[in-house]
Structure formats: structure tokens, C-alpha cells
Structure 1
Amino acid sequence: MIDWSHVAELRSDMGEAFDEVVEVFLQEVEEGLARLDPAGPAEDLAADLHFLKGAALNLGFREFAALCAQSETQANNGEAAKVDLPAVRRSYENSRVAFIDGLPKLAA
């Protein structure tokens, strides 16, 4: 679910700024999730999913990123109505919990 080696590398590279990066990431992803609108233009949905995919990859949310990529492809292929937005949101929530729960173990 989480690419812990990527997270460890990011934490090492960012040093003291890591916690701030995580806070900004979580806020931006939650704002991006709030923008997801299956009734809006497919291009907007695809763009929001693309943003979420990139953000997820940056912080090692591997499964969430994969689901965003799959959903982005659906939206780009004219299948926006088939995008399972509740599954996207659940994947983020599950990833966020696993990430927050796992951070103390990473620091140990």
C-alpha cells in the first residue's frame, strides 16, 4: 500500500521539512478529492485524478496512485461515469491511516 523505501528516502532528503511536506500533501490531496465531480466535464475529472496520482506517487501512496491512474485513464477514454469515486476516496483514507500509523515505525 505504501512504498516505505520511498518515504524513508524522502524523509532523509527533506530532513526537518518532512513533516511540513506531509501536512501540505495531505491537505492538497483532500482538497483534490473534494473537487472530484463525476457529473462535470470528463477532462476536469481526469485532470484532478492526474493531480492526485502525482501527489500520491510523491509521498509513496502506491495503491492510491495506481487507482488514480486507472481512474484517470477511464475518464480520458470517455468512461468518466464508470470511475468509482468512493473506491478512490476509500483508497486514500486507507493509505492515509497506514501511512500515519507507519511513520513512527519508520523513525525508529
Structure 2
Amino acid sequence: MIDWARVAELREEIGAEDFGEIVDLFLTEVDGAIDLLAENAGNREIVAEQMHFLKGASLNLGFSALAGLCRDGEKAAMSGNPDLVTADALRETFAAARGVFERDFPQRFAA
């Protein structure tokens, strides 16, 4: 669900001090993108665009399960089936991944 090696790599790249800001921005942007998807369900172009954005952002922060779901949604939208992966499915996966991240991050990266 979480690629902890990627999390560690990103934290190392940007520094522990700035990492929290990146996480907060990611969480806010994911919520906004999922809301946009829900508002535009069935719109092939917007769904593909938002799935692509979410896939990249999720991969960058190590949310691998969410990235995989977004990859599937992007491919489906580009193939003419923008409703295959729903905003509700993304919300569920994101909520589960976020819960794991918030629970396990402090233990994995304790000072």
C-alpha cells in the first residue's frame, strides 16, 4: 500500500524539515482531484487528466496502491471507459493508505 523506500528517498531528497509540507500539500491536492473527478464522472478527458495527475503524485510520495488504481483508471478513461474507476473507489483506497501512512510514519522515521 505504501512504498516506504520511496518515502525515505523523498524525505532524504527534500529534507525532514520540508517533508511535512510536501505531505500536507499532497493530501490536500489528492482530496481536490478526487472531488473534481466526482464532479466530472463520465468526462473522458477530465477523468484521464486527473487520474494521470493522481498517479504521478501518488508515486512520488509512495502511495503505491492509489497509484495503481489511478493507472487503471487513466487507461480505462483513455480507452473510452471513464467510469471504470470511481471517485468513491479512489476515496476508499486513499483513506486506507493515508491511515497506514499516518499510523506507521512516526515509527519508521523516529528521530
Using the size of structure 2 for normalisation, the TM-score is: 0.90
Find the counterpart in structure 1 of residue 67 from structure 2: 65
Figure out how many residues of one structure are paired with residues of the other and give that number. Answer: 107
Spell out structure 1 runs of 4+ moving beyond 3 A: none
- 1:5 equivalent in alignment to 2:5: yes
Q: Distance in 2 between matches of 1:81 and 1:24?
A: 27
**1:13 match: secondary structure:** helix
Match of 2:101 among 84, 99, 102: 99
- 1:27 equivalent in alignment to 2:18: no
Find the counterpart in structure 1 of residue 77 from structure 2: 75
Residue segments in structure 2 that go unaligned for 5+ positions in a row: none
Q: Give percent identity, aligned residues only.
A: 42
**Contact kept? 2:48, 2:77, Cα under 8 Å:** yes
Q: Residues 78-89 of structure 1: matches in 2 within 5 Å?
A: 78-89=80-91
**Contact kept? 2:33, 2:50, Cα under 8 Å:** yes
**Contact kept? 1:8, 1:106, Cα under 8 Å:** no
Find the counterpart in structure 2 of residue 18 from structure 1: 19
Q: Distance in 2 between matches of 1:84 and 1:23?
A: 24
Letter in 2 for 1:12: E
Match of 1:45 among 44, 47, 56: 47
Q: Distance in 1 between matches of 2:29 and 2:86?
A: 20
Q: Distance in 2 between matches of 1:63 and 1:83?
A: 13
**Contact kept? 2:7, 2:61, Cα under 8 Å:** yes
- Indicate the RMSD between aligned Cα atoms, in angstroms: 1.1
Q: Distance in 1 between matches of 2:80 and 2:14?
A: 39
Deviation at 1:87, TM superposition (A): 1.3
